[in-house]
Structures are given as C-alpha cells and as structure tokens.
Chains A and B, each alone.
Chain A
Amino acid sequence: MTHQLDLALCNRPAEIARAQDQLEQFAAAHHFTDQKLHEVQLALEEHLANILHYGYADGGEHQIQIGIRLTDADLRIQVQDDGRVFNPLEHPSPDLSLPLDQRPIGGLGIHMIRNSLDGLEYRREDGKNILVMNKRI
C-alpha cells in the first residue's frame, strides 16, 4: 500500500517551514525513526533553500510541487519547480580534506542532500526541474 502527501508551496522562506511541518506529521503517522526523519528533512531543507536562493531571477511568485510517496519502507519525494535549469547531480562534491581555513563557505547543501539519501534522480521536463529523492525508512 502506498501512502502519499502532496504539497504546493510558494517560493517564500516561510513555506519551507510549512513543508517541514507537514513532513513531520507524515513521518509521525508512519513511524519514521528520528534519525531517518532528520536525514530526510535535511535533504528537503537544503534542496528547497537552493530553489529559493538560486532558482528565480524575476522576483515573482512561483509554485513548487512536492509529492511524497511511502510504499512499505521506501520513501520517494519528488520536488518540481519551474526555476532555472539546475541539476544538482552535476554539482561537484566539496573537498572535505582541505584544512578548515581553506574550505569554501558554499557548496555544502548539495553534499548534504547526497549524503542524507539513498538515491537521487534528476530530469528536466516541460520547463521544470524535477528532483526525486529516495530513502529507505
């Protein structure tokens, strides 16, 4: 059986918190462990923050669609936005071996997304970025 939650957000910071609250309620209803919830929330937070910060240049209001599907222990979260083309899978990983003083301050969000999930898929379709996050709960 598949359990689902669909959200439509506007591209405003307060909407990220609203999405996180909804995800927490979904997670509680389906008995996620605290650790798994934290990892999923971290990935979602970072991706939504990237969309808001980098996705739009027109200052206008845009919709972000989130589809959450849970089938047995497989969680799939699809995030769809109409922002600029951006494939996080093409983004290089940061060099964690650099000394603290030489570490770039940016670029951590995508690394955190990758390392919080079991799988990540991207496609561009009909002018939209579609990122699918997979996590075994």
Chain B
Amino acid sequence: MDRPLVIFMEIEKKITGDSWEFLITGRVDGAAANQLEVEVLAAIRAGAKAIYVNLANATFLCSAGLRVLLQYHRQMKGKGFSLLATRPSADVAATLEMTGFPELVEKKTSPCEY
C-alpha cells in the first residue's frame, strides 16, 4: 500500500480586492510545489491581478517551486498582471540568487507598498 504523500508546507491566503498574498510556511518540495500551483491557478481563475508569494517562513524552495513561480510570473505578466515572490528567507534567497532569479522578488518591503 502506498504511503500517503505528506506535504510539509502550509499556505495562508490574504485577499485584498484583486491582490492575493500567499504566506508560505515550511518546505516547498516537489509535492508542495504542486499544491502551490493549484492555489495560484485558483487565484488566477478568481480574477487575481497581483499575486505575492511570501517566502519569509519558507525553509526550502526546490526547482519545482521555482518553475511554478517563473511559469505563472510569465503568464500573469503576459496579461498585464503580476506574480512575484516576497521577503524570501535567507535560504530561499540564496536559492533564488544561485539560479539567477532576483527579478522574481518584489523589492518593496511592505504589503502596503505592493
């Protein structure tokens, strides 16, 4: 019998008009990246024009998670909207830097400034 797939990540959503913020806690491994994609797609279908993926409490970001960010950043940008990562933890910031994706990170420091 297959073991259940446990996802070691939690997502808290904050919605203000058409601006969605996902606060990520835990490891964005392969399974969690799939879950993140489901949430991002739901936000897009619900009419989000700005999506912020807050990574302050993310302990880990794998390439599958990066692919979700990049793929939907491009999709949103193509529609004149935005998807950006915000406040990456030190480990996640190192991963974004290593893979050459600093442009995926929102430079403003407060949700009020987004």
Contact = CB atoms under 8 A, between A and B. Distances in A.
A96 B62 contact: no
Interface string A111-135: 1100110000000000000000000
Interface residues of A, number: 30
B99 A112 contact: yes
Interface stretch (A12-20, A64-72, A79-87): A12-20
Given A14-B3, A112-B63, A100 B95 contact: no
B29 A45 contact: yes
B31 A100 contact: no
A13 B55 CA distance: 23
A42 B95 contact: yes
Consensus secondary structure, chain A interface? helix
A16 B7 CA distance: 11
* Range for the number of chain B residues in contact with chain A: 20 to 34
B107 interface: no
A73 interface: no
A41 B67 CA distance: 18
Given A96-B99, A103-B100, A109 B6 contact: no
Contacts of B71: 105
A106 interface: yes
A35 B95 CA distance: 11
A94 to B, nearest CB: 8
B113 interface: no
15 contacts: A14-B3, A14-B5, A17-B31, A18-B3, A38-B91, A42-B60, A42-B62, A45-B60, A46-B63, A49-B62, A96-B100, A100-B74, A105-B71, A108-B63, A116-B98
Q: Sorted from nearest, which 10 A-B pairs have the closest CB atoms?
A: A96-B100, A108-B63, A109-B63, A14-B3, A38-B91, A14-B5, A100-B103, A115-B98, A45-B62, A49-B30
Given A17-B6, A103-B101, 7 more contacts: A14-B2, A16-B29, A17-B5, A17-B29, A38-B59, A49-B64, A108-B66
